[in-house]
Amino acid sequence: MTEEGAGGPGPAAGIEGRLQRVPTGVPGLDAVLRGGLFAGGGYIVRGGPGAGKTILANQVCFQHARAGGKALFVTLLAENHARMVQHLERLGFYDPALVPNGVYYVSAFRALEEGGLRGLMTLLRREVRARGATVLAVDGLMAVAEGGDSDREFRKFFHELQAFISTEGCVALLLVSSSRAEHHPEHTMVDGLIALEDSRVGSRSQRELEVRKSRGSGALRGRHPFRITDGGIAVYPRIEALLARPSQPDGRPDGRVSTGVPALDGMMGGGPLAGTTTLVLGASGTGKTTLGMHYLARSSEREPGLHFGFYETPDRLAAYAASMGLDLDGPVQRGDLEILWRPTAEQIMDDLGSQLIEAVRRRGVKRLFVDGLGGYLEAIDRRERVSQVFAALCNELRALGVTTFVAGETMNLVGPEVAVPVEGVSVIVDNMVLLRFVELRARLHRLVSVMKVRGSDFDLALREFRITGAGIELAGTFADAESVMSGFGVERQAAVRRGSAFAPGKGPTRPRGGGG
């Protein structure tokens, strides 16, 4: 007997009566369906013109045939098969070598016109048995409904079809236009209902798939974005649904991980605990990416690193690091570090999340720097999802034992307020490091402060730092500052005489000034 989730052609149920899964082979869709479709089940695929119904059904047929099964595609539309195949030939899943032995096309338009629903049922029985089909796709269910004299006759046809495919152990995909009534009797008779829709997201459109019914099995609820690509349809399950629970138990933090900046490690009690998530907050130019480069330069065979960024190409990033004396090329060439660049244009947040987790699992990454959180925000479809997606990703990364740094940009360069880019994110992360500018004597100075280290004591002092040809250098504390959280320094006469902690020819001092 085939175990549930294993899939493959065969009878509808094994000796013990367990329903057998038939994978669709469509990227992401089997995850939404929790393993695929059930053998012997009937599924309505509903959507408007251009939604992707025909492509989806053909992709399932070809993937099924590629796995050794037999698929029958029946069209009830006036469009001839040659025209449809011309459109399919450009898609990666299409393989002419599988036609006709693996995927067989039949036009039932004439059978329906001449023999009505009875004639159509006769054709379906004959062709499914003759071809040994374990997947049946019927395109144009509206034509079937219009071919009957009444809804009662159509329901009778539907019942006969359902009984037949159940006996044969054949999965049936029944494609119907969304112009048919939303709640129609046939919806109660099928095992599943998959809806394909186009939604507006700001100024762009996004395709979405929703499993509205899945008899005998749960499915990931809600709408999941998908694309029609050169390879066919790719579905991106909602991250907060896919990772509602981490893939494995979350272990206890084991030891500390260096940030790559020894003085900052000291401020954090020896560095962040392994397997925790650190949010590095700061305005543009404060040094978030620079800190991330320090962190990733420590990547090794024991602690593989990953840079997942949106704004810098790998070459530019490596050159930028080299200008500060940090070597990223070496770890990359050794295979200890991978730099992934994902331009922000026309991205899907769930796709980005899946790519990130896949890259982490593929190499067993232990050091991760996400640069930055803004890249995810630009790919968002609904604002209320951001904190849920971020929490799901953080939980999975902790479970995988990844020590993560995430750069988050604050809007104000100087001033008393710190605007966290995502509401609730400060509760989700384990640690927070704030980088800020402070204005003092008509100059901007950089300050670093540790605001949170979960499970550990830490240094509350404000430290001035600068970015040099040797990277980040921390000075003494900024302890004498007044209006510390205002971002504007208030100097006293003594502070004017002493100057900055980095004043030429002087050791670290404590200038009068503040930053938030």
* DSSP, res 67: T
For the chain, residues with pLDDT lower than 50 are 1-16, 479-485, 490-516
Q: Per this entry, what is the length of the chain?
A: 516
Tokens encoding 82: 């040659």
Mark 203-216 as b/e (b = at least 16 C-beta within 10 Å).
eeebbbbbbeebee
CA 495, 497, 503, 508 torsion-angle sign: negative
Report the amino acid identity of residue 192: G
Q: Which residue has the tokens 């009984």?
A: 163
Specify whether the CB–CB gap between 192 and 37 falls below 8 A: yes
Total-model pTM: 0.83
Q: Which residue has the tokens 């981490």?
A: 246
The confidence score (pLDDT) of residue 419 equals 63
| Domains detected in the chain | 21-237 (3.40.50.300), 262-435 (3.40.50.300)
* DSSP, res 361: H
Q: Which residue has the tokens 């036609």?
A: 99
Report the amino acid identity of residue 93: F
Q: Which residue has the tokens 């902790």?
A: 398
Residue among 60, 61, 83 at smallest CA distance from 70: 61
* DSSP, res 486: T
User: In this predicted model, what pLDDT tens digit does every residue of 385-429 receive, in sequence order?
Assistant: 888 999 999 999 999 999 999 999 887 666 556 666 677 788 899
Specify whether the CB–CB gap between 511 and 500 falls below 8 A: yes
Specify whether the CB–CB gap between 350 and 237 falls below 8 A: yes
* Three-class DSSP category at 227: strand
Report the amino acid identity of residue 214: S
Specify whether the CB–CB gap between 21 and 6 falls below 8 A: yes
The confidence score (pLDDT) of residue 181 equals 54
First to last CA, the chain: 65
φ and ψ of 437, to 5 deg: -95, 145
